[in-house]
Chain A
Amino acid sequence: MAEWFVAKAADMQDGDRRIVTAGPHEIGVFFKDGAFHAYSNYCLHAGGPACEGLLINRVVDLIAADRTYHGQSFGDEMHFVCPWHGYEYELKTGECVGNRSLKLRKYDVVRRGEDIFVVT
């Protein structure tokens, strides 16, 4: 196991991220809503930079109890989007939204004093 420096904790604001190239690993480290999340930066689709696109809430259809459609809105679930083709991943799990059985490799993030490290 190796730990790779990401950033000073104070330097990462809500919604910030860093792309860490750590030997053979390329990792996207997100800081959002008080938590760090780290995933492989290789999209499961075509190998695009999965962690380098938009952070955006999930789009949801508004379906009433009587099963009628009432438009769309943004839900609470936060996604990050591969900028090559638009594959979306859930920030908390790394699951591919279009097929939840597919997951990006997840990495642990640790804090040592004021420094943030990602573990490979």
Chain B
Amino acid sequence: MDMPRSEVRDLRFDQFSVTKHLEHASAQARQRNYQDFLIVDVDSHHYENESYRELFEYIDHPVIRRAAIESTKRPGRSSMMNSQVGYQDTGGRITRHELRKYQKVPSDTHRDIAMTKLWMDAMGVDYACLFPTPMLFLGLHPQVEVEVAMAQGYNRWLCDRILSAEPRLISMLYLPFNDPDAAYRTVNEFGDRKGVVGFMVTSPRYRPVHDNAYVKTYALLEEMGKPISFHAAYNWNDQALAMTNRFISVHALGFMWFNMVHMTNWVINGLPERFPKLKVMWIESGLTWAYSLMQRLDHSYMMRTSDCPSLKRRPSEYMREMFYSTQPMEIPDDPSILEATFKMINAETQLVWSSDYPHWDFDLPSVIYDLPFLKEQAKRNILGGNAARLFGLDPKPVKTIP
């Protein structure tokens, strides 16, 4: 219970506390008794660019390692890494992006770990699946060998410095998908490392998922029981998306667009039939895209089965067996529309909550917990139970809500 109090405080823009910033989230967590059950965040982020100096040391490729390390000696972002135009902080209105540099953390803990655990506890999260931020665009790097080298360095750094040091942090590691052999080597090398619960493909890229070159990787993942996920992002240089002139537009379309393409190829080429036990997850596209695509593909399928003869069922039936992360969860005025979306994707077993924190459009667990049409068990499944089963996590809560 929150005790009544009287306090006056000034507002400062030269200091920052994650715990204070998320104080209202902690109040929600206490009011809803999150302490009593498991909450798993399947999509959250750190800023790996803040660790470039130590991360680049992990790159095996001697030439790229040297170039990468040298690039950190000049101000600004590494000249080795590609980026995207995108004012995600809405012109500075999302203040934590700038102010987080003022957060004080203990000197004996890696800053990424300390920063992440602060927001996890504040929201009521037990386990967080951590993903990079600038590297979400690495699939668009003009040099495939840089994607490969960076993926290898990042994955090893993440395993050695972060995942091995903090049991509440897990990850689906970065797959260098533009080099299919390197993707296969990545699963082989890192599949058994502590905290590695799967592998992630950044969606903005131009390699079709049904290419035969990926078959051995899918087979290996299926054999290991590790999910493959597709993490959405945008490419403002994409010929169609380049017609949009505001970030709201390229974000709304781009984060759906690449996952819609990959999903369509995945299903129409019969990959669910060829890899029936491979678990597939779609991250950060929200939910409405799946609802829409199911209906469109089903409608055409009945007239064009000759285009997809490997399928034995309608496309939506395969899609309903995949996993979907919640964020950014669209919340229509009429809850019956969201309820229908949940029904279409079999949300009680297939939907997994995600925050996307600290990015600009993060969600709290309350986006699920406060839904009027879900029963308590369904809420707990989506907030943590489904992910615990998928990743093999202990269902006992371990967080400490401030």
Contacts and interface: CB of A to CB of B under 8 A. Distances in A.
Interface of A: 4-7, 16-24, 42, 46-49, 52-54, 56, 81, 83-86, 88
30 contacts: A5-B8, A6-B8, A7-B8, A18-B8, A18-B9, A18-B11, A19-B9, A21-B5, A21-B6, A21-B7, A21-B9, A23-B5, A23-B6, A24-B2, A47-B24, A47-B27, A48-B24, A49-B24, A52-B11, A53-B93, A54-B93, A81-B93, A83-B93, A83-B95, A84-B362, A85-B94, A85-B361, A86-B90, A86-B93, A86-B360
Nearest to A59: B91
B143 to A, nearest CB: 35
B93 A56 contact: yes
B8 A20 contact: yes
Contacts of B96: 83
* Most chain B CB inside 10 Å of its own CB: which residue of A20, A42, A46: A46
Interface residues of B, number: 28
Q: 7 smallest A-B Cβ distances: which pairs?
A: A21-B7, A23-B4, A83-B95, A81-B93, A86-B90, A86-B93, A47-B24
Interface string B1-39: 010111111110000000001011101100000000000
B400 interface: no
A42 B2 CA distance: 15
B75 interface: no
Contacts of A24: 2, 4
Contacts of B11: 17-19, 52
Interface in B243-291: none
Nearest to B5: A21
Given A23-B4, A46-B366, A86-B360, A54 B95 contact: yes
Contacts of B367: 46
Contacts of A46: 363-364, 366-367
